[in-house]
Amino acid sequence: MSPLKVILADNHPAVRKNLRLLLESERDIEVIAETNDGLETIRAVQALQPDLLVLDIKMPLMSGLEVLQYLRNEKHPMGILILSNHTEQLYVAAALRLGADAFLTKSAGVEVLLEAIRIVQQRVSGDRVERSARALVSTSGRGGLFWSESWVDPDYSGMNAIPAEKSA
């Protein structure tokens, strides 16, 4: 089986470097590109056709949410995992509404990130339910994974189905 091809999109070089080291320690994952801003991310996706995009929300030129919307409108079939410091339910709701397959905080932990990648990989491969029906969400600093069971209505402004961030 060929390795999962991943693009890392984050405007912080240290984050990208650490993610690359982590992901490339897995035998079946290959990081094929790193991008620093939204426009560069779109160009890399179009040129390289990854299986998975790990995408930050706050980036120069185009936000991660704008990139997500553009790529889903263009019908790119890859999985998209949002990895962000932003835990506000407004960001989670927007990301899910725009078609993210998973939303994790950067504090979620290595095991949770790898588990989310595997789940998204299975779903994109067709082994899981349709992308528009469910999304994987972790907004817990402890790294819990939460499933949103219902379709996210484009007019929906809150995320009551998703547990709020747990306090320490």
- Identify whether 157 is part of a domain: no
- Identify whether 38 is part of a domain: yes
- Identify whether 154 is part of a domain: no
Q: What is the DSSP string of 83-139?
A: EES---HHHHHHHHHHT-SEEEETTS-HHHHHHHHHHHHHHHTTSSS-TTT-EEEE-
Q: 86 is written with which tokens?
A: 């932003």
- Identify whether 168 is part of a domain: no
- Identify whether 107 is part of a domain: yes
pTM: 0.78
Q: Per-residue confidence at 137, pLDDT binned at 50, 70, 90?
A: low
Sheet arrangement for strand 135-138: 29-35, 4-9, 52-55, 79-84, 102-105, 135-138, 146-148
pLDDT in tens, 38-87: 999 999 999 999 999 999 999 999 999 999 999 999 988 899 999 988 87
Q: 16 is written with which tokens?
A: 């990208």
- Identify whether 165 is part of a domain: no
- Identify whether 115 is part of a domain: yes
Mean pLDDT of the region 138-160: 40
More confident residue, 86 or 165: 86
Query: What residues make up the domain containing 124?
Result: 4-148
- Report phi then psi at 29, rounded to 5: -125, 135
- Identify whether 156 is part of a domain: no
Number of domains forming the structure of the chain: 1
Helices (H) and strands (E) in the chain, counts: 5, 7
More confident residue, 90 or 129: 90
Other beta carbons within 10 angstroms of residue 147's beta carbon come to: 12
Q: Per-residue confidence at 141, pLDDT binned at 50, 70, 90?
A: very low
* CATH for 56: 3.40.50.2300
